[in-house]
Chains A and B, each alone.
Chain A
Amino acid sequence: MTTVATQIKLTPEHNARPGASVRSRLQDALPKIVLAPSFAITIVFVYGFILWTVYLSFTNSKTFPSYAITGSRAYQRLWRWTFESDPPSSWYTSITNMGIFGFLYIFICLALGLFLAILLDQKIRGEGVLRPIYLYPMALSFIVTGVAWKWFLDPGLGLEQTLHQWGWTSFHFDWIKNKDFVIYTVVIAGVWQASGFIMAMFLAGLRGIDGEIMKAAQIDGATTFQLYRRIVIPLLRPVFLSAFIVLAHLAIKSYDLVVALTSGGPGGSAWLPSNFMYEYTFKRNEMAVGSASAVIMLMTITAIIVPYLYSELRERPR
């Protein structure tokens, strides 16, 4: 871009024409002009609406937004619900589920993805066939994943029924119908969907590692385990960061998976905060409470992601 501009300036005949300076100025401004609409859209529709949600959470909005600030009753209610564990309030269920689901989903996906990637990286035959097989679930929407797993895990329809028909009648697996275990079925379906994608990310990372370093380590007598433990995994750190961010946002926005897989679970026991937010805002016409829960979700994410991003990005070589 800049080289083009300098070339134009250097040519005398171009300089002579007044249109040229307009053109070069236009060319300078072009990136800004092109970016301006998307910048404006992001400002309004992301950050503007975040502020609007914060504002609404301090009103007493019910079915429709109301604009008179009435104080923090919505937050007080959420705060009270945070400690109602017996019987669990819907909010308590949602946030504990978020903790369980978020931790297991991210951890298992990372571990499984890395493991599969290392296995696939052993220069095996048929990698071109195996890789898409693992990657394919990512192409499905959460709704499809949810419905498929709902049928598969249903004791009267899927796995349990089939094994009973094959003769293993003592087999028992009804987590999806059990209020204490239903959230783990969400983890299973989520991991099934995302781990292949994480594997692909790690595989790309592994392919990017310089073969010379590996050879040097092998010459120095490192075992395979040491090689991975001390060299490969530390070198994959940027991939861990990307994978973590992809998984974290998938975990926090999994609303559809819960709905399709469990329709909320027995007595609402599979709710995540996003389900809580949707239920209160749109079904129960308590927009203020819904907004407050959305704000708390945002602050929680910020509290986790920002320090992590800061520590990761600060150490990067400039």
Chain B
Amino acid sequence: MLRKLLIGTALGSGLAFAAHAQDVKEVEMLHWWTSGGEAAALNVLKEDLAKQGFAWKDVPVAGGGGDAAMTALKAMVAAGNYPTASQMLGYTVLDYAAAGVMGDLTETAVKEGWDKSVPAALQKFSVYDGKWVAAPVNVHSVNWLWINKAVMDKIGGTEPKTFDDFIALLDKAKAAGVIPLALGGQNWQEATMFDSVVLSTGGPEFYKKAFNDLDEEQLKSDTMKKSFDNLAKLVTYVDPNFSGRDWNLATAMVIKGDALVQVMGDWAKGEFNAAKKTPGTDFLCYRFPGTDGSVVYNSDMFGMFDVPDDRKAAQAALATATLSKSFQSAFNVVKGSVPARTDVPDTDFDACGKKGMADLKAANEGGTLFGSLAQGYGAPPAVANAYKDVVSKFVHGQIKTSDEAVTQLVSAIEDAK
């Protein structure tokens, strides 16, 4: 009995060894794209890889904008059980790279010419210590207005070019009896809107110094106070019931025509698409007034882990497929974002997507492509969340004046550094 067991084990491990000598034709992918549109978008990649003969082992962890997935990833990595790749955001990639668990894609990157095609601002997060550790999948930008065209026509509004125009437009909507501004009162939504307000109030240079470099002089400047004043103005145009509302419900208010406009990242377009609305005829996408020419971005990345050698070929294939032009186009058309490389043809994209791609290219060349602080691309999570706290407390009245808000912002960021 015992001998049989021993022989069985030996045979088994021998077989396992033999199998290991060849490459494992499988990618294990951890992600939180489980909702309909997102899952369909990811399916494009799955099929691309299947054509090359790689099996796809899905590790979906739904919920909470990736919080649950990141907790799962932490457990997997702590147990030494690295996935081939994981969906990751901004500073998380750098944290894991600093912990020494990320793989090295430099060979693939050189072969595919990523250095030139991927915007430099994104490379800050996908390249660590000179090595490519992640493949960016898309670029979202947050400084957008999403407007219901029927309501806009009814109130006779035109595209607002400055912040004051915007306030005038909101006044018109208020007079016409629609909710002017659809906002979900959750801290990340408020802070996402505030990113745009700061960019609009202080200009690109100010945004960069304050929210990417965390320069204290700028954080406590009068321009920042004015930004908080402007935010306070905007908040007077939301309905009383906004607190705690999910972002997609706020988008639905615009789709249905209950509200005129939402300030939200371009993932909102996915909601319009799902409701079978067409840009230009049903809804309008404008840059947040006063931010045209700049792009405040966040990006989904596939972080590539330091897997055993026999899985490296599959990983390289995954990375190549992720940044291939065909996948970048097909995926981002479905997802609502724009490609993470600037040399993808825009033929399949709708009007908003085309504008987004042109803006990204221009911002990349002009040096006005900035990480969104609210979305975790401006500073590490501790700082970004301290920032969200302050903005949210200001919107909901725990912080009463913009002077106090600025003081709180400086000390909260200092504390979290």
Contact = CB atoms under 8 A, between A and B. Distances in A.
Contact of B71 (A87, A179, A269, A282): A282
A179 B415 contact: no
Nearest to A265: B244
Q: What is the predominant secondary structure among interface residues of chain A facing chain B?
A: loop
A309 to B, nearest CB: 33
Contacts of B186: 263-264
B396 A174 contact: no
Contacts of A286: 382, 416
B187 A285 contact: no
A262 B185 CA distance: 11
Interface residues of B, number: 37
A267 B398 contact: yes
Interface residues of A, number: 29
A286 B383 CA distance: 10
Given A63-B95, A264-B187, A284 B381 contact: yes
B243 interface: yes
A93 B59 CA distance: 37
Interface in B301-352: none
A285 B396 contact: no
A244 to B, nearest CB: 32
A179 B396 CA distance: 7
Interface string B185-198: 11100000000000
B404 interface: yes
Contacts of B185: 177, 266
Interface stretch (B116-124, B141-149, B151-159, B387-395): B387-395
A285 B381 contact: yes
Nearest to B391: A267
B392 A262 contact: no
A268 interface: yes
Interface in B185-237: 185-187
Given A267-B393, A283-B385, A156 B241 contact: yes
B389 A268 contact: yes
Contacts of B386: 284
A284 B244 contact: no
Q: Which of A264, A268, A282, A285 has the most CB of B within 10 A?
A: A285
Nearest to B397: A179
A284 B382 contact: yes
Interface string A38-78: 00000000000000000000000011100000000000010
Interface in A141-188: 150, 154-156, 174, 176-177, 179
A293 B393 CA distance: 21
Q: Which of B70, B71, B393 has the most CB of A within 10 A?
A: B393
A265 B398 CA distance: 12
Contacts of A269: 396, 398
Chain B interface, >50% SS class = helix
Interface in A111-152: 150
A177 B244 contact: yes
A256 interface: no
A283 B382 CA distance: 8
B187 A174 contact: no
A156 B253 CA distance: 13
B393 A87 contact: yes
Contact of B398 (A88, A154, A279, A283): A88
B240 interface: yes
A285 B398 contact: no
A90 interface: yes
A266 B382 contact: no
Given A266-B185, A285-B382, A87 B241 contact: no
A268 B381 contact: no
B187 A279 contact: no
Given A64-B99, A282-B67, A283-B381, A155 B241 contact: yes
A284 B385 contact: yes
A84 B404 CA distance: 13
A267 B381 contact: no
Contacts of B160: none
B408 interface: yes
A90 B70 CA distance: 23
A87 B399 contact: yes
A268 B393 contact: yes
A267 B190 CA distance: 10
A203 to B, nearest CB: 37
Contacts of A267: 187, 389, 392-398
A177 B240 contact: yes
Given A267-B396, A268-B392, A268-B393, A63 B240 contact: no
Contacts of A177: 185, 240-244
Contacts of B92: 63
Contacts of B67: 282-283
A284 B242 CA distance: 25
26 contacts: A63-B92, A63-B96, A64-B74, A64-B78, A87-B398, A87-B400, A88-B398, A90-B389, A156-B241, A177-B185, A179-B397, A179-B398, A264-B186, A266-B185, A267-B392, A267-B393, A267-B394, A267-B395, A267-B396, A268-B187, A268-B392, A269-B396, A282-B67, A283-B381, A284-B381, A284-B385
